[in-house]
Amino acid sequence: MRRTLLYFHSLSSPWTYLGGPRLHALIAKHDLRVVLRPTSVVGKNGGIPLRSRPANRQAYHEVELDRWRKYLDMPLVLRPAHYPTDPQFSTRMTIAADTLGWDALGLSHALLRALWSEERDVRLPEVRRAVAESLGLDGARLVAMEDSPAIVERAQVIQQEAIDAGVFGSPTYVLDGELFWGQDRLEFLDRRLSEA
């Protein structure tokens, strides 16, 4: 019987980007059914936006990003040109792709790669459209859906789901009600899945 994993993640999080390939590997290894929950809960459950944190916390954030990008051998710009960003547009595009049954997980990672590796401004609809089209998706259709009442409402519902589930950071993986916060918890998630 396939296990179901809820995947709460922000479309501005470098940690979500760094965890993407290993999450894909876990999905394949354990034949997981993944339920995408793209959202942002910063400020809703006690989180503090990065640029609002003390300078020493911000500096250490860069140290950790540098360690992880080297460890994972993933391209990542420590101070990308268009960060901080407003993730609502990428979030709604991903939700739109998911409602159509398209590769929303792949799109989510591609949008994060555009922000953190390629230094593209994902707030711009033409950038999001190009990212979607690079995956063979109908970018124009997705952009057109982003502001539809149904997609906006769905984004609000997902955010409330995250709050109700106790999600406070990104990425958060939820398996059978158990939270695994952070891409550095993927090994623990793998172990839990292997116990079944």
Length reported for the chain: 196
Stated pTM of the model: 0.94
Token output for 57 = 């916390």
| pLDDT under 50: residue ranges of the chain | none
Phi-psi region at 136: left, alpha or beta (left = phi > 0; alpha = psi -120 to 50): left
Return the pLDDT at 41.
Answer: 83
Cα 189 vs. chain centroid, distance in angstroms? 17
Cis peptide before 84 (omega within 30 of 0): yes
3-state secondary structure of 37: strand
The Cα 170–Cα 10 span in angstroms is 6
Q: What is the pLDDT of residue 89?
A: 97
* pLDDT given at position 54: 63
* Domains of the chain and any CATH numbers: 4-195 (3.40.30.10)
Query: Mind giving me the DSSP string for 41-109?
Result: -TTTSS---GGGS-HHHHHHHHHHHHHHHHHHT----SS-TT-S--THHHHHHHHHHHHTTS-HHHHHH
CB 65 within 8 A of CB 35: no
pLDDT in tens, 131-168: 999 999 999 999 999 999 999 999 999 999 999 999 99
pLDDT value at residue 1 = 81
**CA torsion through residues 99, 105, 110, 116, sign:** positive
- Cα separation, 160 vs 78, whole angstroms: 31
pLDDT at 15: 97
